[in-house]
Amino acid sequence: MSTIIMQGDLLKMFKIILFDLDGTLTDPKEGITKSVQYALEKMGYSEPDLDKLTTFIGPPLIDTFVEQYGMTVSEATQSVQKYRERFSTLGLFENFVYPGIPKLLEELSLSGAILALATSKPEVYSLKIMEKFDLMKYFNCIVGSGLNGELVDKAAVITEVFKRLNSDNFSSAVMIGDRKYDIVGAKKNNINSIGVKYGYGSETELKEAGADYIVNTVTDLRDFLLTEI
């Protein structure tokens, strides 16, 4: 049976559906953690346990280098550059689509929903990943950050999605993601949010961020969305 935790007052009819990428559509653990490990080694740090590097999945990389390793902003910026040396050629494809996601996207697209990708991952990498896994065909709009640091904040990414869609239909929109950044970004844009527990954020994190709805699995997400559309 589907388990849905609702923190909103009223179920919505969602017409515009924004998806996060990492931890929501795909599992990027191998590529991200190995690329972070590579960057740390280049900067003189040793971290043999890749599981400890999953904290880098979701938030802006530069912030996590600062917070987790006490780097200066300058050092963190260099670390991001080293990270990209590996990620841009190898790490972005060390990734897999969560089972059930392609079918969900197909059904949502056929239902008439407008689908958009809203990710803090650089847009140039996001496009390659979406093409690799044949997911581009379902999306009306794909927005990611710039390699120069633009649109790193999730709220800014979501705002850009609506600009590119030329829409202000916020009341019928929802942001789906696995981390607090997705939920907070949605709130700043006054749209609904769904937290997914199969990614890299905990139920506690999603609740504390104020997710309107929380689902356990891709199947639960599918049942919820296709019921509400």
Task: Compute the half-sphere exposure of residue 39: CA atoms within 13 Å on the CB side of its CA.
Answer: 30
DSSP state, 96? E
- CATH assignment at residue 60: 1.10.150.240
Q: What is d(CA 221, CA 99) in angstroms, rounded to the nearest whole number? A: 12
89 lies in the same domain as 105? no
107 lies in the same domain as 215? yes
- CATH assignment at residue 139: 3.40.50.1000
Single out the residue in 93, 112, 133 at which a domain terminates.
Answer: 93
101 lies in the same domain as 186? yes
Encode pLDDT of 149-193 as tens digits.
Answer: 888 899 999 999 999 999 998 999 999 999 999 999 999 999 999
146 lies in the same domain as 163? yes
Single out the residue in 59, 93, 127 at which a domain terminates.
Answer: 93
Mean pLDDT across the chain, nearest whole number? 93
Going by C-beta distance under 8 Å and a sequence separation of 6 or more, which residues neighbour residue 186?
Answer: 18, 158, 174, 175, 192, 193
107 lies in the same domain as 220? yes
**Domain span holding position 132:** 4-27+97-228
Burial class of residue 10 (count of CB atoms within 10 Å of its CB; 0-12, 13-18, 19+) = exposed
102 lies in the same domain as 213? yes
176 lies in the same domain as 107? yes
Encode pLDDT of 72-120 as tens digits.
Answer: 999 999 999 999 999 999 999 999 999 999 999 999 999 999 999 999 9
Q: Which residues are known catalytic residues?
A: 20
110 lies in the same domain as 194? yes
- The token duo for 185 is 């970004």
112 lies in the same domain as 87? no
150 lies in the same domain as 88? no
What pLDDT score was predicted for residue 1? 31
Q: What is d(CA 12, CA 172) in angstroms, rounded to the nearest whole number? A: 7
Q: What is d(CA 82, CA 84) in angstroms, rounded to the nearest whole number? A: 5
121 lies in the same domain as 178? yes
Q: What average pLDDT score do residues 54-62 get?
A: 92
Please state the domain count of the chain.
2
What pLDDT score was predicted for residue 7? 45
What pLDDT score was predicted for residue 8? 42
Encode pLDDT of 2-46 as tens digits.
Answer: 455 554 433 447 999 999 999 999 999 999 999 999 999 999 999
Single out the residue in 93, 123, 147 at which a domain terminates.
Answer: 93
65 lies in the same domain as 136? no
